[in-house]
């Protein structure tokens, strides 16, 4: 019997709140695709317990906002058990969760809480930005012996892209340069990678050559491509969706400041950072989250100020 199974609210017959597991119940049956009651703590506890007994569950929290209800199981149990028991056990499970704004779902269904888990030793945190990365990173996360928080932006479900056939792994902890450039580095995560690439295309018409770097795995972070890029361009713009205080952008800024890249900076690092709950009003929601035009303006200012 395979050790991998999917568990969560409405992941079975309904196919998931965003259709991600559509057809899996019909293909694999109720022993491998399990619907649960509305209990995020129960889902995380089930995944932790199953992983301790040798299974490799994939659990889904329907909205990342509700991951708050599973913090005890994730932070006090799953993240710490391998360390506290001297490596005699592993806790290999993946917790998938849709995050991010842009659907008009307001403050309780639109948050980006990834950095809460970056803060916790023992957890790995993944944020794919493309379909190919989503497949390779998810397969790598399933094989990993540690609990992995796998954050999927809701708006990326609508996107399409080439995906290699067959079974392949994208290593956890390998940042990728999505677009090479020489004038300014944009470090972006998740949906913001696509927006940064679109901004880079627009800026190219102005003679500004943008390099876009995607960490892909926030923890463990692969800092080398980011540092190398900043050393080359001398300017860096950090773009993520989470709120200002304690967001992952601050960690990236610290990594750059503590590296040799700091001496190569021709201008202060820039970023998009706000500190409010996600508004229900669509205009306000849009203003809170970085848009392509915001990224273009910020990158343009960095280049012009440095020149």
Write down the residue that tokens 């709950």 correspond to.
Answer: 277
Name the one residue in this structure whose structure tokens are 């690092």: 269
CA separation, residue 96 to residues 130, 145, 172, 220, 238 (Å)? 16, 16, 15, 17, 25
Q: In Å, how far are 49, 133, 141 from 52, measured between CA atoms?
A: 5, 27, 16
Pairing type for strands 4-8 and 33-35 reads parallel
Torsion of CA 203, 250, 190, 144, to 10 degrees: 140
Could you give the CA distance from residue 66 to residue 20 in angstroms, rounded to a whole number? 18
Is the preceding peptide bond at 220 cis, omega within 30 degrees of 0? yes
Structure tokens at 157: 């479900």
Give the residue numbers marked as catalytic: 40, 109
- Angle at which helices 191-204 and 292-306 cross, to 10°: 50
Q: What is the dihedral of CA 135, 70, 253, 223, to 10 degrees?
A: -40
């Amino acid at each position: 019997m395979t050790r991998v199974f999917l568990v969560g609210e409405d992941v079975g017959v309904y196919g998931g709140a965003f259709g991600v597991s559509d057809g899996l119940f019909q293909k694999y049956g109720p022993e491998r695709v399990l619907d649960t009651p509305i209990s995020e703590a129960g889902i995380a506890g089930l995944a932790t317990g199953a992983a301790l007994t040798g299974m490799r569950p994939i659990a889904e929290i329907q909205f990342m906002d509700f991951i708050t209800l599973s913090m005890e199981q994730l932070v006090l149990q799953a993240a710490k058990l391998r360390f506290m028991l001297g490596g005699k056990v592993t806790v290999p499970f993946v917790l998938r969760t849709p995050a991010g704004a842009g659907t008009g779902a307001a403050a309780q269904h639109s948050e980006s809480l990834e950095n809460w888990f970056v803060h916790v030793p023992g957890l790995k945190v993944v944020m794919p930005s493309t379909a190919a990365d989503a497949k390779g990173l998810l397969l790598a996360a399933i094989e990993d012996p540690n609990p992995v928080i796998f954050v999927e932006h809701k708006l990326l479900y609508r996107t399409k892209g080439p995906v290699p056939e067959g079974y392949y792994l994208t290593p956890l902890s390998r940042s990728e340069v999505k677009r090479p450039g020489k004038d300014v580095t944009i470090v972006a995560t998740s949906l913001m990678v696509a927006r940064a690439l679109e901004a880079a295309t627009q800026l190219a018409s102005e003679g500004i050559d943008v390099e876009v770097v995607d960490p892909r795995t926030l923890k463990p972070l692969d800092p080398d491509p980011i540092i190398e890029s900043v050393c080359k361009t001398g300017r860096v713009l950090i773009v993520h969706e989470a709120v200002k205080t304690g967001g992952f952008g601050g960690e990236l800024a610290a990594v750059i400041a503590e590296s040799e890249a700091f001496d190569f900076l021709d201008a202060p690092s820039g970023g998009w950072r706000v500190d409010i709950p996600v508004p229900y009003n669509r205009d306000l929601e849009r203003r809170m989250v970085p848009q392509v035009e915001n990224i273009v303006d910020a990158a343009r200012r960095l280049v012009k100020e440095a020149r």
